[in-house]
Amino acid sequence: MNTTLNDIAVRIPTPLRGLTQNKEIVYVSGKTIKELLHNLESQCPGILNRICNEKGEIRRFVNVYLNGEDIRFLNGLDTPLQQKDEVSIVPAIAGG
């Protein structure tokens, strides 16, 4: 996969690496989180289903971070991206 200067590093959690050929980091382009996730789906078919629900919203037990900040506290899926940003997909851990 060729990366360009505009590609964003996306950190993939271990449970989803089967969809990324075991890559921990995948480089994807996108102007917003939503566009980035759709482009990620193009590169790694099936991954969007694991991150977003049928309404296109981030699943309740998945967290998406932009440079360490939860996108829910930014602009959600409309959060803009810039060169050298890093997006992390983190499954929420439930405990009791």
pLDDT in tens, the chain (96 residues): 455 556 999 999 999 999 999 999 999 999 999 999 999 999 999 999 999 999 999 999 999 999 999 999 999 999 999 989 999 999 987 655
Place of tokens 């991206």: 81
Distance CA 45, CA 49 (A): 9
The domains of the chain, with CATH numbers, are 7-91 (3.10.20.30)
**Model pTM?**
0.89
H/E element, 8: strand 8-11
